[in-house]
Structure 1
């Protein structure tokens, strides 16, 4: 399960007014059942060592389901966005520059973390960015949820996630009972992911660490604890110190693309087939195993993914997520962008142009979100509405063609 769901507010996950109204219309009926569910679940909690005082403190004031949790549960960009849109929203001038700034700010802690866990600091910065925009997401209005209410909502209303939510809820109650965080401070994502680097409760129990020495594993308020905990998770899941996550590569004409996704090959095997690094540099770790992937299809960029790519997927089990972490880490470290072009079907906007497009959409009354350059669901809805009004194909794509029309409107 992803440590979920990083960038939800940045990507403009808005509640459709009609959808929310419909959901709330049934709340009066649902709340009685929900409150009974909370009352009944104490027997499960008690069997797991949770005291009545802890249980009551977590559920104090919780009277109804959280409808926003159910809305957000149906929107997971790792599985719905095109890979290039996913990367565009996460690998930006801001996330690169801010990562480099925080790299300097927390150098002392990164030195300690790298020595202890053997995980590269730029990977940890990229995770921090993608999960919570370096903690900024945690401070935004309506971005986090009461974890007890959120997990109880999923357990009660979401059949797909009921078992998961019950397990996570018990673990969250243990975290409060252990004194790591107060009941009031127990906040996180719709899926229960917590803190700067978004740990679900069971992952927190398994891998969270106290590296700043204050006696608490405080992923909510201590970036060093959160970053060290992320490093511990990766190390315990097989991170290979000193090895990259993968390489962008170019395959020769006539290459058998059916080899994509297959195990059992090493980098030197691909070299013999004519596969080369896209930047022209030699491969390192030529004897290491690698898997060829075409994240955007065989007419887009190709990558040889190493073991660390799959370790990143233990954080969030999506190829897009692991690719975004790896690529953002490289950009923070000073390396260049992906060289080959994605098969978008349109000429994309750069960072500055995305800001400009949002300003025009707001000026014209199509967009009421933040001007942040991230083209999320709110921006795309605004783009589609403008395109329809302008007689354009309503594809929602942030293209140069769109920007030209916006400038003239």
Structure 2
């Protein structure tokens, strides 16, 4: 990406490299597998946004495995072929939806003229890639020295814009810069995706198992093109429709994008002011609290009661301190009345964190703990902070999808309510693991690793 030195616009050079996106507000299929593989707790799929760079270098399989594609009737070969043949009728049937959003029939027909589905998306949509990285390795990969150095350059280059945005929206500039860096490596070539968003959202709105969701994304894309906010030939992104340096899904664009440079368009692809301000507006509306941090790395006392590792158990910092929890530096918590929950993303053998409301705001941007933790930590490093004081476990590997499903199946057989064994270790699965650990005489940190699985197999 070539960035003009005026600080007002940027021009993006597209490449043919496809970067996998995650989340649903900003793409979605890969987020589930990744979040599960790093043992992140993932909320409802329909509320996610995406992350781009977290998945760079981890492409989906070329084709979905038969047992995966067989899981939904709309992903059967016959259903896909029928939907592909019906694609023109499907596009025509969505014209009234666009008209209800202010797009005239003539403009709609002009925008969709010659539109064809991108059938390769079906393979990306229903693939189940395997990842070998643990939570710690993801965070270390994302919060790299190269990304820190580049982020500081961008903060300096666009200081005047960050100053004005921070004043207007009350969102920390370092959090915005961290999202920019992790979503697209600060808009680097290939970091934002190269597929036409109109074609991607049209394909997913008419073919496959998420048509209801992507119908809204397609109509929102048509609105963007009709209004001219982003030139149609610049509206390129992931296979799931996320676009721009901070990866907006079309409906997220409609909710959060702002015209900060005053040119009459909300251009989150070509205008640096619009990118920064729109990302700030997103975080603000998701609950970001100005001049407050996302959380603290903490050290647990010996013989700590791990039953406190529960997101529903939120206490003030003073109450956590009374349980013997301290910061590695020994410094006091600056706001003892703040309420937080305790998170052990790598179990009792890894670092511990007390998470504040701003962490939850980041999770609304993308609902994976690995992502939110990386954003918070990168923001701190951009500010001048140091690495985490505690190290991540080095000897472990992430559970494979087959192993995660096996663990869930065994938990079901033991009588725990974990929902459907889908390989996504969410809140119910984590709680069940914690209860199993207690029964088995293990440290009940709720961390689903190979040691827990081995005990279940005994």
Please report the TM-score for the alignment, with normalisation by the length of structure 1: 0.76
Per the alignment, residue 62 of structure 1 pairs with 115
Aligned pairs (5 A) from 1:177-256: 177-256=226-305
Per-residue CA distance 1:130-153 (angstroms, 9 max, x = gap): 11110115567xx33211221122
Equivalent position SS for 2:297 = strand
Per the alignment, residue 51 of structure 2 pairs with 5
Shift, 1:50, TM fit: 2.3
Shift, 1:186, TM fit: 2.3
Per-residue CA distance 1:92-123 (angstroms, 9 max, x = gap): 11111100111110111111111111111111
Shift, 1:9, TM fit: 6.7
Range with bigger deviation, 221-230 or 189-198: 189-198
Task: Name the CA distance, whole Å, in 2 between partners of 1:74 and 1:335.
Answer: 38
Unpaired stretches in structure 2, ≥5 consecutive residues: 1-24, 26-47, 70-74, 398-458
Aligned pairs (5 A) from 1:235-314: 235-260=284-309, 261-314=311-364
The 8 Å contact of residues 171 and 288 in structure 2, kept in 1 or not, is answered as yes
Return closer, same or farther for 1:91/1:192 CA change in 2, 3 Å cut-off: same
Task: Name the CA distance, whole Å, in 2 between partners of 1:224 and 1:76.
Answer: 36
Return closer, same or farther for 1:268/1:332 CA change in 2, 3 Å cut-off: same
Return closer, same or farther for 1:88/1:59 CA change in 2, 3 Å cut-off: farther
Aligned pairs (5 A) from 1:23-38: 31-38=84-91
Task: Name the CA distance, whole Å, in 1 between partners of 2:367 and 2:132.
Answer: 14
Task: Please tell me whether residue 115 in structure 1 is matched to residue 161 in structure 2.
Answer: no
Per the alignment, residue 379 of structure 1 pairs with none
Unpaired stretches in structure 1, ≥5 consecutive residues: 348-409
Return closer, same or farther for 1:28/1:317 CA change in 2, 3 Å cut-off: closer
Task: Please tell me whether residue 316 in structure 1 is matched to residue 366 in structure 2.
Answer: yes
Return closer, same or farther for 1:334/1:163 CA change in 2, 3 Å cut-off: same
Task: Please tell me whether residue 342 in structure 1 is matched to residue 392 in structure 2.
Answer: yes
Task: Please tell me whether residue 155 in structure 1 is matched to residue 205 in structure 2.
Answer: yes
The 8 Å contact of residues 35 and 64 in structure 1, kept in 2 or not, is answered as no
Equivalent position SS for 2:354 = strand
The 8 Å contact of residues 58 and 173 in structure 1, kept in 2 or not, is answered as yes
Task: Name the CA distance, whole Å, in 2 between partners of 1:266 and 1:10.
Answer: 38
Aligned equivalent of 1:326, options 376, 385, 391:
376
Per-residue CA distance 1:3-43 (angstroms, 9 max, x = gap): 32312772241553798xx99x9987764222332233223
Return closer, same or farther for 1:224/1:82 CA change in 2, 3 Å cut-off: same
Task: Name the CA distance, whole Å, in 2 between partners of 1:297 and 1:173.
Answer: 45
Task: Name the CA distance, whole Å, in 1 between partners of 2:119 and 2:328.
Answer: 47
Equivalent position SS for 2:216 = helix
Task: Name the CA distance, whole Å, in 2 between partners of 1:102 and 1:146.
Answer: 27
Per the alignment, residue 12 of structure 2 pairs with none
Task: Name the CA distance, whole Å, in 1 between partners of 2:266 and 2:298.
Answer: 40
Task: Name the CA distance, whole Å, in 2 between partners of 1:330 and 1:11.
Answer: 25
Equivalent position SS for 2:296 = strand
Aligned equivalent of 1:104, options 156, 159, 171:
156
Per the alignment, residue 32 of structure 2 pairs with none
Per-residue CA distance 1:208-236 (angstroms, 9 max, x = gap): 11112222111001122111111111112
Range with bigger deviation, 304-313 or 261-270: 261-270
Query: Aligned residue pairs: how many?
Result: 341
Q: Please report the RMSD computed on the Cα atoms of aligned residues, expressed in angstroms.
A: 2.8
Task: Name the CA distance, whole Å, in 2 between partners of 1:168 and 1:230.
Answer: 19
Please report the TM-score for the alignment, with normalisation by the length of structure 2: 0.68
Aligned equivalent of 2:102, options 41, 46, 49:
49
Aligned equivalent of 1:126, options 173, 178, 183:
178
The 8 Å contact of residues 171 and 284 in structure 2, kept in 1 or not, is answered as yes
